[in-house]
Amino acid sequence: MNINLEVIPEKSYAGALAEEIVTVLGYAIEEKGYATFSLSGGSTPGKVYRRLSRPPFDKRIDWKKVYFIFGDERFVPKNDSNSNFRMVKETLLSSLEVDENKILGIDTSLSSCSDAAKNYDKLLKDSLDGKLKLDLVLLGLGTDGHTASIFPNSPFADKTLISEDLKTTPLVKECINPSDNSKRITLLPNILFSSNQVFFLVTGQGKNEILKEIAKGNKKVSEIPAKLSFDATAKVTWFADSVAAKDLD
């Protein structure tokens, strides 16, 4: 098995992940007085975010000390049904006592996707000066092996990018989702995988095949960008529910 896999019963997945998340963030807050938390988009994390927003997790840590960063975004208005910001706002941020100044969203109102990426790169470097080694990065897994918005055959599916300097090289770039040609903004391998911890959230029967390929196969990073995590300096944990992890002994 190539990965550090935690299999969690489907029914207790959201609560288990909420516990793992507040533990990591709580430790960072205790140690440094703040925590930096990169959020995944897509449909998987919603149930975990909702669980985090409810007791006991909504009061387990001082959420006002957490910086919320977005691992990727669709280049759509913030109120669009496809917006990751909207999903995170609805499932998590609207229910927690947070510091609005620490919610570092991607400005998708700018005139181009490229401008949005450049703007976010500057926002992260300005807002997180000296804090760019993130405490916790949540990532999802596409059935094609993408993670964040780093898709197969992307120029960013390149493990040599992980060691790129966080201050002087880009942290964010624009890209295209090849499955529907939609415009996206994504964090790059350097900030994602040089973080302290990465949690992959993988649930449902639809992810069983790709998870098996990652856990046991030998496809290249360019074919399965989530395998960038194999060269991460971060501690990487794959949290799969019992359905996604079926037959992964």
Give the footprint of ligand 6PG on this chain (CB under 6 A): 40-44, 71-72, 84, 140-142, 146-148
Nearer to ligand 6PG, 29 or 71 (CB): 71
Give buried/exposed letters for 152-184 (b at 16+ CB in 10 A, else e).
bebebbbbebbebebeeebbbbbbebeeeeebb
Tell me how far, at minimum, the Cβ of 109 lies from ligand 6PG, in Å: 18
105 or 142: CB nearest ligand 6PG? 142
Q: Which is nearer to ligand 6PG, 29 or 203 (CB)?
A: 203
Q: Which is nearer to ligand 6PG, 71 or 105 (CB)?
A: 71
Query: Strand, helix or coil at 7?
Result: strand
Smaller CB distance to ligand 6PG: residue 61 or 161? 161
Q: How far is the CB of 121 from ligand 6PG (least distance, A)?
A: 18
Q: Do β-strands 35-39 and 66-70 pair in parallel, antiparallel, or remain unpaired?
A: parallel
Q: Which residues are paired to 139 by β-bridges? A: 200
Other residues' Cβ atoms within 10 Å of the Cβ of residue 69 = 26
Query: Least CB distance from residue 33 to ligand 6PG, whole Å?
Result: 29
Which letter, b or e, does each residue of 187-222 get, where b requires 16 or more Cβ atoms within 10 Å of its Cβ? bbbbbbbbbbbbbbbbbeeebbebbebbbeeeeebe
Q: For the CB of residue 31, give the shortest distance to ligand 6PG in the complex, in Å.
A: 28
Least distance (Å) from ligand 6PG to the CB of residue 150?
A: 8
